[in-house]
Amino acid sequence: MKQSAKGYRFLHPFTFMNNPLQATAEEVRQTYPCLTKGEGAWVYDDAGNRYLYLSTAVPTVGLGNRRVIQAMTEQYETLSFASTCAQGHPFANQLSERLTRIAHHEHAMVFFSNDGSGAVETAMKLVRQYYRSKGEPQRTRFLSFEGSYHGTTFGSGSVTHMGIKESFGPGLEGCFSIPAPHLYRPPVAGDEAAFEQYCLEQLEKTILTLGADTIAAILIEPIQGVNGVVLFPQDFWQKVQCIARRYDLLLIADEVGTGLGRTGHWLASHHYGIKPDLVALSKGLTGGYFPMGATIISEEIIAELYKEGGIFLHGSTLCGHPVACVAALTILEMIEQDGLLEQARQRGEWILNRLKQSLLDHPQVGDIRGMGMMLAIELVSNRETKTSVSFAWSRAFTATLRQAGILANFFNGVLSMYPPLTLSDDEADYLVTRLIDVLAKMPKEEKHG
């Protein structure tokens, strides 16, 4: 297809663009790779360069998987679309049953949306409707934690406290943030127990200040993804759940990035020993083969909303699409049959141990962390002050990574990596070896801060 001589027409999400109306497609490609092919854990750009694809938690079973594509093709040929409004198809309920078993919510129900933001937005609306049904319409407020990313829709964006909503002006009223016990960058001085207790106290103080009977739910991201694969103290979420139960608040677990094998568990909530009232899923659900989100809804909420029959006035044209459902069912089957949960746990642990053995003494490495196939290296210019690396050093690092055949996210000084659950031993070794080589080539960052 012929490109226009002047001006680039595609507006990229979450991407700095330098006056695209004055740029050409070629100029944009010089800054950002243009991908043309994907196979397993690898992608290729239009210049023929090959990269290990680590940019996103979406590819559960890699790219171009023939088993998934075949199942989707057969479904396209049989029933390419079916509305789920006052009608349906068998795969939506089959997938719902599978997800409720995975979540250990056997008597729950599932609502499908188009992405993770939609799954979180759905959970927030259900919570509001639940309390209205119970005769508590004043419960409209939401609490979430600093550094958590919950989405970009009006509601999900309002509970995302990462400086995103400030671009658009006032969001949903009644959304409040709580300090999070970041293990590498804690909100207050002291040991792990001290700053964990501080965050719990701030949570309870906020509840009491606002009034527990005005709050609908607490949203959590068990491991913060966009913020740089941030893990928290092992018992923190159990303590948050206890506070939620004490004040009769619902708990929403945003497992859009962590769910369905990414951490080496079906849900990160299982690892942390919690049972949320609602769970939001997306990325790994269909592995990028079809847009889809899902919200798992507890039996208690369903029983209240539908005790005398009811209606949920929410949805989208493509929610519960039959091809999406078939893709998800195939991927979940592969995760189980191929032992990908255990593989993700073991291979992720091997990668982390190798990186720590080789890089923890590097002058620019502040922290190495992760769980399963969620991995991160935080890079700093000064290990004592934990000052992040400079913009110039970051640009050079990103360029060197690409030259080494690694495509990953480097944001706010953190290299976040999401290999597919199917990553092989050789590919894991490639990842570690190339990262070590890249950091060895990088000039020492001048200390500042």
pLDDT in tens, 54-107: 999 999 999 999 999 999 999 999 999 999 999 999 999 999 999 999 999 888
Are 197 and 130 within one domain? yes
Confidence tier at 19 by pLDDT (50, 70, 90): confident
> Mean pLDDT over residues 208-228, rounded?
98
Confidence tier at 1 by pLDDT (50, 70, 90): very low
CA distances 349 to 212, 343, 356, 418, Å, are: 40, 10, 11, 13
Amino acid 449: pLDDT? 58
Are 289 and 414 within one domain? no
Residue 164 has pLDDT above 70, yes or no: yes
Q: Mind giving me the DSSP string for 11-49? A: --TT---S-GGG--HHHHHHHS--EEEEEBTEEEETT--
Are 195 and 329 within one domain? yes
Whose CA is closest to 125, among 115, 135, 106, 111? 111
Query: Which SS3 state, helix, strand or coil, does residue 50 take?
Result: strand
Gyration radius of the chain over CA positions: 22
Amino acid 351: pLDDT? 98
Per the structure, the complete domain to which residue 375 belongs is given by 33-64+339-441
pLDDT in tens, 200-217: 999 999 999 999 999 999
| pTM of the shown model | 0.96
> Mean pLDDT over residues 37-41, rounded?
98
Domain end marker among 337, 368, 388: 337
Residue 409 has pLDDT above 90, yes or no: yes
State the average pLDDT for the chain: 95
27-31, 187-191, 371-375: lowest mean pLDDT where? 27-31
Query: Which SS3 state, helix, strand or coil, does residue 399 take?
Result: helix
Are 284 and 274 within one domain? yes
Domain end marker among 337, 358, 392: 337
Domain end marker among 305, 337, 369: 337
Residue 448 has pLDDT above 70, yes or no: no
Residue 52 has pLDDT above 90, yes or no: yes
